[in-house]
Structure 1
Amino acid sequence: MKNIFKVLVLGVFLCLFSDANAQIKTPAASQGAKLETTVGLTTISLDYSRPSKSGRKIYGELVPFDAMWRTGANKNSMITFSDDVMIGGSQVKGGTYAIFTKPGKASWEVYFYLDTENWGTPEKWDDTKVAAKVMATPQTVSTTETFTLNIANVTNESCHLEISWDNVTVPVKIEVPTDKKVSAAISQVMAGPSAGDYYNAARYYREAKKDLSQALAWMNKSIEMGNDKFWVLRQKSLIEADMGNYKGAIATANSSLAKAKEAGNNDYIKMNMDSIAAWSKK
């Protein structure tokens, strides 16, 4: 009986010890890191793991020359662009890419790769998944103990992705479409409001019970610019009815009704028919 009791006590102790031990957290050998920054009007973010030098010779030994490298540790390092960018003369679509490199003594090959779900390098390399490949020149610098990816030399139009570890930094230029975006915005504003702008302004004025004459003028401008969808005509008919012009409202509602039938939109068919019936009694 005593032996059974001892076994039970020992079992409970082991369970408690096991549970307590399972709750102990220790630092990862290669710490995770995330960075997000704005370059011009484009957001660029990095997500990677950071191995440490720890007295080792890195390039040519731990990281062989002329062999594909995950460029960090654990899962492949990743970079995300909010807009299309230019890298090494290649246009890279906005999105997330894995960063792989092939270090060399005099130059590095830097790859931006579409498949981002790799633990290390891809088991089977696929050239069709290379969004951009850049030849970069390594620079000798003071020692960087922990592997670092950084966005440096930031201007409104470009930046450099810097890959730094040991006594080497490799810069890769990235060009962002700031001028293109700003120029497009300026052109749009200077060209005047769009059909959608006129529609939104007119609808707001009606719903806010402001100047209905102005609302109608804006709605007509939107329609003149080709925005004659059934929901736009519906809003115009409501403005006309609010102004007491029921004859005009019915005519516009009939136009909206015809387009709603063409589109197969039963909600607008019913709303227009109900309004026409009500306004016909005015």
Structure 2
Amino acid sequence: MKKTLSFFLFMLAAITIQAQVQAPQPSPHAKIWQTVGLTEVTVEYSRPSMRGRDIFGDLVPFDKKWRTGANENTIISFSDDVTIDGETLPKGTYAIYSVPGKNSWEIMFYKKTDNWGLPQAWDNAQLALSTKAQVTKMPMTMETFTIVIDELKNDSAVFNMLWEDTVVSFTFEVPTDAKTMKSIEAALNGPTARDYYAAADYYYTSGKDLEQALEWINKATEDNATFWMLRKKSLIEAKLGKKKDAIKTAKASLKAAKAAGNDDYVKMNEDSLKEWGAK
């Protein structure tokens, strides 16, 4: 009986020690978070490595559904509706599945996200959107499966998957202009100087009505003009061809920037004044 009890305690201790062992995963988990315009995008996925294996066309066959990563689903979340190849993908979280091909891939956004790999039974009712992605060959190899969101613009970005010597890419568009215009309209019902400045800045950077941008920046600067607001006003005036006004405003911005000890704005104003032929 004593020997049996001792053996039981030994085995229990061994199991406890084993349960405490921590080891790295062969395909570690990763998460990326990116703001595109005003839309939040997150991606969670596992990252398998080549480890001397041939990947596309071998480990990952062509023309068959792939889990697009390893372990649990690769998932993507959008805080707003987005547009992919002219089709609307409603805001929410999706599993990303794919069908790799030699020249293009099919990328599928699947509503059910709790599968381990591919669903046991594919349900087309769960397919929110499917699109084609461009395949580009790289001059080098990427050892570990990598997802990157880049080519960031106010209203779009490019989703890239890189592995072996292959990059797979598609563009998605976000509703930045609609959200900003709605925000401008709401803010201008009771705007502050910062609201007028933000509206003018958006119109300036987006190439919208510059006369309207000038009207708003004038309201932003009429009571308590800061050096950075005056800087923006000078740029709007210059773009409208109002060089004399732009020079006058830039000089005011320069003076205020020097008083504030902001060397960056001092240099930007001095460079602009030189460019505009100020005396």
2:170 pairs with one of 169, 172, 180: 172
Instruction: Give 1:6 shift.
Output: 4.3
Give the root-mean-square deviation of aligned CA atoms.
Answer: 1.7
Structure 2 portions without partners, runs of 5+: 192-279
Give the drift of 1:24.
Answer: 0.6
Contact (CA 8 Å) 1:33, 1:48: kept in 2 or not?
yes
Match of 1:74 among 50, 66, 71: 71
Bigger Cα Rg:
1
Aligned residue among 139, 149, 152 for 1:151: 149
Matches within 5 A, 1:197-276: none
What's 2:120 paired with?
Answer: 123
More displaced stretch, 6-15 vs 158-167: 6-15
Give the Cα separation in 1 of the matches to 2:118 and 2:85. 22
Q: Secondary structure at the match of 1:185?
A: helix
1:226 aligned residue = none
Name the residue aligned to 2:217. Answer: none
Query: Counterpart of 2:125 in 1: which secondary structure?
Result: helix
TM superposition score normalised by structure 1: 0.64
Q: Would you identify which runs of 4 or more consecutive aligned residues in structure 1 move more than 3 Å?
A: 4-11
TM-score (norm 2): 0.65
**C-alpha deviation, 1:11, in angstroms:** 3.3
Mapped to 2, the partners of 1:151 and 1:137 lie a distance apart of: 15
Tell me the SS of whatever aligns to 2:102: coil
* Distance in 2 (alpha carbons) for counterparts of 1:11 and 1:183: 71
Identity of aligned residues (%): 43
Cα shift at 1:22: 1.7
In 2, Cα distance between the equivalents of 1:188 and 1:137?
40
Name stretches of at least 5 consecutive residues in structure 1 with no aligned partner.
Answer: 195-282
1:187 deviation in Å? Answer: 2.2
What is the alpha-carbon distance in structure 1 between the residues aligned to residue 177 and residue 10 of structure 2? 68
Which position in structure 2 is the counterpart of 1:15?
Answer: 12
Choose which of 56, 60, 65 in structure 2 pairs with 1:59.
56
Aligned pair count? 190
CA distance, structure 1, for counterparts of residue 151 and residue 5 of structure 2: 66
Take 2:174 and 2:5, find their aligned partners in 1: how far apart are those partners? Answer: 68
Given that 1:88 and 1:132 are in contact with CA atoms closer than 8 Å, whether structure 2 keeps it comes out as: no
1:22 and 1:126 mapped to 2: Cα distance? Answer: 37
